Chains A and B, each alone.
Chain A
């Protein structure tokens, strides 16, 4: 079946620290992969995506590379800011099917 597993939170980092949030997946077919971000009191917003193997999605300093050999799509940022504090969701979608979301990882960045 289709599923996403992401690292448990919460994660607390100091400003300018390096961020990694791990995400692995299982999928029937050839999925597209996504990272969404949810700020307090808001809906989920797309952060970045990748639609085929070895693609790198990037946005706002965040990056993730679609690794088919390890079935992974880890989220990274070189230097986090207080404004990055949010909940991050990894997700996949297979053509013609629904979206599958991970459980979310809460990130808090302290000054």
Chain B
């Protein structure tokens, strides 16, 4: 199994541009999580999905952030327009059914730099 796959690994963009981060979860996993990690705030949950449906998006910082999961094998996190304070490492994770007994599996992350 290739694990959770995120792309790109690194993204540098200019302030005001649209940024799209991509995630392919592990096959058979029906939970998908998007996290943001910064030195100041640590690891923050942005949103999570169950069976492609958003369950909790209370962690999404503002309307500039949006996430979709059009099918079981793909999710995107979009920032439009991007700002320098969005610079962080963004992680996607997936988890099998029976959430609570099993762990979340993390991707390698996307390091976003907004200049």
Minimum CB–CB distance from B45 to chain A (whole Å) comes to: 6
Q: Within 8 Å CB of B106, what residues of A?
A: 36, 43-45
The residue in A93, A98, A103, A104 that gathers the most chain B C-beta atoms within 10 A of its C-beta is A98
- For the side of the interface on B, what is the size category? 20 to 34
Q: Mark A76-109, 1 if CB is under 8 A from B, else 0.
A: 0000000000000100011111110101100000
Question: From B92, which residue of chain A is reached at the shortest CB distance?
Answer: A43
* B100 in contact (CB, < 8 A): yes
Q: Within 8 Å CB of A31, what residues of B?
A: 100
Q: Is the CB of A32 within 8 A of B109?
A: no
Q: Within 8 Å CB of A89, what residues of B?
A: 43
- For the side of the interface on A, what is the size category? 20 to 34
Q: Within 8 Å CB of A96, what residues of B?
A: 99-100
Q: A32-B102, A95-B98, A98-B33 are in contact. List 20 more A-B contacts (CB 8 A).
A: A32-B100, A42-B108, A42-B109, A43-B91, A43-B93, A43-B108, A44-B93, A45-B106, A46-B105, A49-B103, A94-B100, A95-B99, A96-B100, A97-B99, A97-B100, A98-B45, A98-B48, A99-B45, A99-B93, A101-B43
**Which residues of A does B touch, CB under 8 Å?**
31-32, 34, 36, 42-46, 49, 51, 89, 93-99, 101, 103-104
**Which residues of B does A touch, CB under 8 Å?**
4, 33, 42-43, 45, 48, 55-56, 91, 93, 95, 98-109
